[in-house]
Amino acid sequence: MGRSRGMAWGTAAVVLVSGLVGGTAAAADPTPTPTPSYAPITMSAEESQRLCAEVLPKLISRREKLATRINGGAEVKGSVAWLKARAVKQRAKGHEKVAAQLDKRAERRAGRLEQLSKIKGELEAFKTKHCQVVK
C-alpha cells in the first residue's frame, strides 16, 4: 500500500513538472494564432426563392408575435405586465423571493424588445437586398 502511494505521488510530480515546463515553452512562443476565415455561403436559385418565399415570412411573423406577446396586457400570458401582476400576487401572499424572481424575469423580457427591433431591421434589410423579383 505504501509503495503504490509513493508511485502515485511520483507520477503526479512528474506530470506537474512537465506541465510547468511545457506551459512556459508554449507561453514563450510569440506566434499568434490565425483568425479563422469563413467561405461565403452560396445558394441555388431554388434555395434562395424558398428562403424568401417561405422561411423569411415565418421569421418575420414569429418576431411580430413575440413582440405582441411581450407588449401585451396583464391578461396576455408571457407579457411583461402579466409577470409583474404575478409578482404583485406573490408579494401579497408573502412570497418575496418568488416575487423578486418574477420582477427580474419581467425586466429581462422587457429588454428583449430592443433585440427584437434590431432583428426586425436585419430581416427587413435582408428582404430588400436579397428577395427582389428579377425582371
- Residue 34's pLDDT is 73
Residues 87, 104 contacting (CB under 8 angstroms):
no
Q: How far apart are CA 126 and CA 120, in angstroms?
A: 10
Task: For cell 441555388, name the residue.
Answer: 44
pLDDT block averages, 10 residues each, the chain of length 135: 50 46 52 72 82 92 95 94 96 96 96 93 89 67
- Residue 46's pLDDT is 84
pTM of the model: 0.61
In three-state secondary structure terms, 91 is helix
- Residue 28's pLDDT is 54
Q: How far apart are CA 22 and CA 130, in angstroms?
A: 51
Residues 70, 109 contacting (CB under 8 angstroms):
yes
Helices (H) and strands (E) in the chain, counts: 5, 0
- Residue 16's pLDDT is 43
- Residue 61's pLDDT is 95
